[in-house]
Amino acid sequence: MSVIEIEALEKSYRVYQKKEGLWASVRGLFHREYRDVRAVRGIDLQVEAGEFVAFLGPNGAGKTTTLKLLSGVINPTSGKARVLGFVPWNRDNDYRRRFALVMGQKNQLWWDLPAQESFRLHQQIYRIETKQFQDTLDELTDLLAVRDLLGQPVRELSLGERMKMELCAALLHSPEVLFLDEPTIGLDVVAQHNIQRFLRYYQEERKTTILLTSHYMKDIAALCKRVVIMADGEIKYDDSLAGIVDRFSSHKIVTVLLNDGTQAEKLRDYGEVLSVEAPRVRLRIERERISATLSLILDRFLLDDVAVEDPPLEDVIADFFTQVSNKGSDDASDPFPTEVQA
């Protein structure tokens, strides 16, 4: 049986459409227009124990909503989900003791108190035995190199240090399932890298099932083998990281080193020139035409070197997002304004 099972899960919000202007405000007193926003549109997903799954998608794709549904913070409109055999939104204490949610945008530690105090409260709430609590805390603070900061008020910590403390707090009760919502948002490269390293190590050690959403491709490339791409509240892709390029990239990047740099301009006939640093030229060529074009180039030019690569993952995904979000905005112009009498 899978650790996470989602079936036709759907969540829609009703949003009051406030209109600009005085008259509209007055009218709003008596009668309002609502719009249903379908944040998650009937998704299906299965995650096995010990998997590290990344959720990718543009803002508003429904990733965070999905995590909130799975952690029982909000109730769904329809559909089913089970995590560790529990229905999340029943908010069973037994369930709540076995998972954790970390949100990069929100913090749960007491702002004016040292992190240590929040951890102790955690110990009481999760009923962790003192010995186990101390061991786990020692291990986590060593791994994250924050042991010296335990006594400092949280408000005095840097953003990166605070995030590490949030992770500590979330992992104190050794959850079997961990939901991470943009854990590295706003952090500098070093702090991001530290947290990635920690998560990889922790996951390999404990085989915790982790669902991660992030905007940073580096996070995902470093951590996850399986990637789920969401857009418009639907799952558009669910497979390996490597597969994304095959599936969504229609082009390859060809770099040629010309023997005679003056001929660089002539290459424009063969593909979209990305850059010319004579004698080096980078071209973007459609995938189906790659072998034909290459042989033509080899025929007509004298080359010192040639390299064919996939475009960077980030570009591929950015392209894909733009495609779906363009489509998405068409969708938005066809909303569902339901007039509701107040």
Instruction: Please give the residue ranges that form the binding site for another protein (CB under 8 A).
Output: 13, 18, 21-22, 25-26, 28-29, 32, 64, 68, 71-75, 89, 91, 93-97, 100-101, 103, 105-106, 108, 125-127, 342
In the complex, least distance from residue 295 CB atom to another protein, rounded to whole angstroms: 52
Closest approach of Cβ 256 to another protein, in Å?
47
H or E segment and range at residue 164? helix 159-171
Output the smallest distance, CB 291 to another protein, in A.
48
SS3 at position 331:
helix
Q: Is 209 helix (H, G, I), strand (E, B) or coil?
A: strand
Q: State which amino acid sits at residue 1.
A: M
The CA distance from 29 to 67, in Å, is 35
Per DSSP, what are the bridge partners of residue 77? none
- Indicate the residue among 73 and 276 with the shorter CB distance to another protein: 73
Contact 9, 69 (CB under 8 A): yes
CB closer to another protein out of 71 and 192: 71
Cβ closer to another protein: 29 or 302?
29
Cα–Cα dist 63/101, whole Å: 13
Nearest residue to 230 (alpha-carbon basis) of 73, 69, 77: 69
| Shortest distance in whole angstroms from residue 22 CB to another protein | 5
Closest CB 68 distance from another protein, rounded Å: 5
Closest CB 26 distance from another protein, rounded Å: 6
> CB–CB of 154/109 below 8 Å?
yes
Task: Return the number of the residue (100 or 313) whose C-beta is nearest another protein.
Answer: 100
**CB nearer to another protein: pick between 69 and 283:** 69
Q: Comparing C-alpha atoms, which of 196, 188, 207, 241 is closest to residue 56?
A: 241
Residue 134 corresponds to which tokens in the numbers above? 């101390």
Residue among 96 and 289 whose Cβ is closer to another protein:
96
Assign 3-state DSSP to the chain and report helix, strand, coil percentages, each to 5.
45, 30, 25
